[in-house]
Amino acid sequence: MADTNPEYRQSEKEKKLENWLPITSSRNAKWWYSAFHNVTAMVGAGVLSLPYAMSHLGWGPGVVILILSWVITLYTLWQMVEMHEMVPGKRFDRYHELGQHAFGEKLGLWIVVPQQLVVEIGVNIVYMVTGGKSIKKFIETAAPHLPHLKTSIHIVFFAIIHFFLSHLPNFNSISLVSLAAAVMSLSYSTIAWTASIHKGVLDQVDYSNTSSTKTGSTLNFFSALGDVAFAYAGHNVVLEIQATIPSTPEKPSKGPMWKGVIVAYAVVALCYFPVALIGYYIFGNKIDDNILITLEKPAWLIAAANLFVVVHVIGSYQIYAMPVFDMIETVLVKKLNFEPSFILRFITRTTYVAFTMIVGIAIPFFGGLLGFFGGFAFAPTTYFLPCIMWLAIYKPKMFSLSWFANWICIILGLTLMILAPIGALRTIILHAQNYKFFS
């Protein structure tokens, strides 16, 4: 009898799809899964560029911006964890579902999805390049007698790993990869600042701005804001991570999720602040945009750090790819009426990895461009979009503490969104003559 009811059939079909899609197919994660997924998503290779960002920001503004970013993004992350189950009996398993609840069915999709895709696909391409370059740096440091291959060859090596790993079905199935990545991020961050201390403060260390003009200094400052925003990009996958945690009315998922977030943010502080402040203190404005490049010795330690970066970006790539796989597979099954199958998943994910690999090989300076594109997407999804949703959904009383806190975050986030791409555009123009396609 139930079979003749179209509503029942639809709900069965929906249920079958939810049990197949990577975000919702497994809901048995523990709180510590949340901790290392969040560490892997947050503490990316962006931490290694924080001393360079400090060299453009200067001591006072740099310290204030680092601390403010940590506080604001922890606050907006708390909001997202709270909003995951704000409607009784319903879970907003994906960022865009929360957007649709806040802004309406169509507008919510248009506001959230393009920004989320820019961040996730952009990060995947950057990690493809970072992984390739780190493999190259590891081999050249550990075995300098071997012939030096082009970066593009090493990017292919890195991609081969993902042609296998990308077929793990869901978030919980990549938990061991993610755990290894989280441990590695803490390891290479620790190597970066301890090796800096061991090296000692440079003779005639200089903390003045590298640009001789006021305009140059200002634009460098704006560009550095983009580097800091890139370092706090984990919000784009937070609802998807929370979706993997079991939930009941008595024990909602926000409890274990928040526990994991607190641990993750403690690790973020242990990684970001020592690397940024000690790296800048030791090298001043002579720091490279990746502190591991500045630290050439001891060779074995720098080789190990680069290998740790490789392991970390393997895990981080998977964390950012999983929501993209979910979106693509949802569209193929729901809109284009494909049957959920292994073949569909195999073709989809292999094509995506190949796409990020080809773009990475063609544009190995993509990281330089990401500050520009990322400024439009990193700042909103991390710094102020959760606040706008909170205001739209909860409607806190005007001039209350919650109202003020959210509007301060929105104003600071909007400022970041406008200024970071301006600085990044200048950086792109300055470095354009050094950019080589397919290098």
The number of C-alpha atoms within 13 Å of 434 and in the hemisphere containing its C-beta is: 8
Predicted confidence at residue 145, as pLDDT, reads 85
Domain 2-434, second-level architecture: Up-down Bundle (1.20)
Question: How many whole angstroms separate alpha carbon 209 and alpha carbon 231?
Answer: 22
The predicted pLDDT at position 419 comes to: 87
Nearest to 126 by CA among 259, 233, 15, 284: 233
- In this prediction, residue 439 carries a pLDDT of 65
Cβ of 398: how many Cβ atoms within 10 Å? 8
Local structure of residue 201 (DSSP, 8 states): P
Give the C-alpha separation, 242 to 37, whole Å: 10
Sort 261 into a burial class: Cβ within 10 Å, 0-12 / 13-18 / 19+.
buried
User: Chain-wide mean pLDDT for the chain?
Assistant: 87
C-beta separation of 37 from 185 below 8 A: no
Q: Exposure of 122 by Cβ count < 10 A (0-12 exposed, 13-18 middle, 19+ buried)?
A: buried
The answer to whether the CB of 65 falls within 8 A of the CB of 416 is no
Contacts of 249 (CB under 8 A, 6+ apart): 88
Look at residue 8 and tell me whether its pLDDT is greater than 50. no
Reference 317, options 360, 272, 347; nearest CA is: 360
Phi, psi values for residue 149, rounded to 5°: -95, 160
- Give residues with Cβ within 8 angstroms of 123, minimum separation 6: 44, 233, 316, 320, 370
Q: What is the mean pLDDT of residues 126-134?
A: 89
Give pLDDT, residue 4. 45
What burial class does residue 14 get, using C-beta atoms within 10 Å of its C-beta: 0-12 exposed, 13-18 middle, 19+ buried? exposed
Higher pLDDT, 209 or 417: 417
Q: Per the structure block, which two tokens stand in for 66? A: 């680092």
**What number is the average pLDDT over the span 202-215?**
80
As separate numbers, helices (DSSP H) first and strands (DSSP E) second, the chain gives: 17, 0
List all residues 6 or more positions away from 50 whose beta carbon is below 8 Å from its beta carbon: 66, 227, 228, 231, 272, 275, 276, 279
CB 313 within 8 A of CB 185: no
Task: Decide if pLDDT at 406 tops 90.
Answer: yes
Residue 5 binned pLDDT confidence (cut-offs 50, 70, 90): very low
Cα-based distances in Å from 102 to 87, 107, 162, 169, 371: 12, 9, 35, 30, 28
Share of the chain above pLDDT 70, in %: 95
Angle, to 10 degrees, between the axis of helix 31-42 and the axis of helix 299-330?
110
Question: Does pLDDT of 2 surpass 60?
Answer: no
Whole-model pTM? 0.89
